[in-house]
Copies of this chain bind each other. A is one copy, B any other.
Amino acid sequence: MSPDAPAFPRPLQGIVPPMVTPLLEADTLDPVGLERLVEHILAGGVHGLFILGTVGEAPALSHRARHDLVERVCAQVHRRVPVLVGLIDTSVIEALNLARQAAAAGADGLVLTAPYYYPASQADLLAYLRCVVPQLPLPVLLYNIPDRPAPVFDVETVKAASDMPNIVGLKDSSANMIYFRQLQSAMEDQPDFSLLMGPEMLLAEAVLLGAHGGVSGGANLLPRLYVDLYEAAHRRDIAQAQALHKTVMKLKATLFNVSRERSGFLRALKCALSCLGICSDFVAEPFRRFDEPNRQRVQQYLTELGITKNGLTRTT
């Protein structure tokens, strides 16, 4: 961490979009698209930027490409908002390598999953954290990844691990709201411990009842919408929060639902960014960009919903 780095905000609050990774091909970043995308997102007033997450296709990228991305984004953001870098690896050695690169490049925080190939017990996970986290050069958010049958980190494991000063919060993409509420209860005595909601359909209610913010994929496209929703919920303006929540629900039911496959969200998101001229829609293996019929449906929804580079141009 360079000496002039601002302190990491505790708790981290607001919208921290999980940035998609613009690609020209499997192992080549789209450098111009990347620049445009970063500025597009920052212009929406977001409170941080999370690169190399699930939406960022981190596990599908080579380590070389991951490193390249970290360098470019940190240089471009240049401390305007905190940059968080995902450590989603099966190998602790590779995760540590990336963490050190990220710190050297000027990143502000890390987002750490459990190793996910092997099914580890909660005791294994806690031992893992006690081994790895002290070696990490930046503040760390734990990360319950999506599409697993259960949250990875049990409430008790998070609570136990939270005595490590390096661990500053958790991003929960489990979509298990009972778990999230139990976690909140358990962490009530540590108000600086940031609890961020992954799935954007749960953002409104999460924040209304005390979550610190969201890691909303849709904020790649419409950063202002999610910032507005967060702020409405944060100031407890239910009417406004509910109205914006309905817009998010509509996006999820239309534009982001063009393909019902589980990869559909990512592919629709990249496709929409491409339609707006922001960046390439290339998607890494095992997925691929939308075909022409799906692209036309995305284009049509953009028109119908009034989505432009400048955001939602009319109330839906």
**Residues in chain A within 8 A of chain B (CB atoms):** 26-27, 54, 59-65, 88, 90-94, 97, 114-121, 124-125, 127-128, 131-132, 147, 149, 175-178, 181-182, 184-185, 199, 201-202, 204-205, 208-210, 236, 238, 242, 245-246, 249-250, 252-253, 261-263, 284-288
A132: chain B residues within 8 A (beta carbon)? 285
26 A-B contact pairs sorted by A residue (CB < 8 Å): A59-B115, A60-B91, A60-B92, A65-B93, A90-B90, A118-B262, A118-B263, A120-B286, A121-B262, A121-B263, A124-B261, A124-B263, A127-B288, A128-B285, A128-B286, A131-B285, A177-B201, A178-B199, A178-B201, A181-B201, A182-B252, A184-B249, A185-B246, A209-B238, A210-B242, A238-B238
CA distance A5 to B115 in the complex (A): 37
* B61 engages A91 (CB within 8 Å): yes
* A88 engages B60 (CB within 8 Å): no
A146 to chain B, nearest CB (A): 9
CA distance A83 to B131 in the complex (A): 34
* B285 engages A115 (CB within 8 Å): yes
Extra A-B contacts (16), CB below 8 Å, given A63-B63, A182-B253, A236-B238:
A54-B117, A59-B91, A62-B93, A88-B117, A92-B286, A116-B117, A124-B287, A128-B285, A131-B285, A175-B176, A175-B177, A177-B177, A178-B201, A182-B252, A205-B205, A208-B209
A184: chain B residues within 8 A (beta carbon)? 249
* A175 engages B178 (CB within 8 Å): yes
* A26 engages B92 (CB within 8 Å): yes
Contact A120 B287, CB 8 Å, known A63-B94, A91-B59, A238-B208: yes
CA distance A149 to B204 in the complex (A): 25
Cβ 8 A contact of A90, one of B60, B65, B250? B60
* A115 engages B286 (CB within 8 Å): yes
* A91 engages B62 (CB within 8 Å): yes
Contact A209 B201, CB 8 Å, known A63-B63, A93-B62, A236-B238: no
Residue of A64, A125, A184, A205 with highest tally of chain B CB at under 10 A: A205
A202: chain B residues within 8 A (beta carbon)? 177-178, 181
* A285 engages B92 (CB within 8 Å): yes
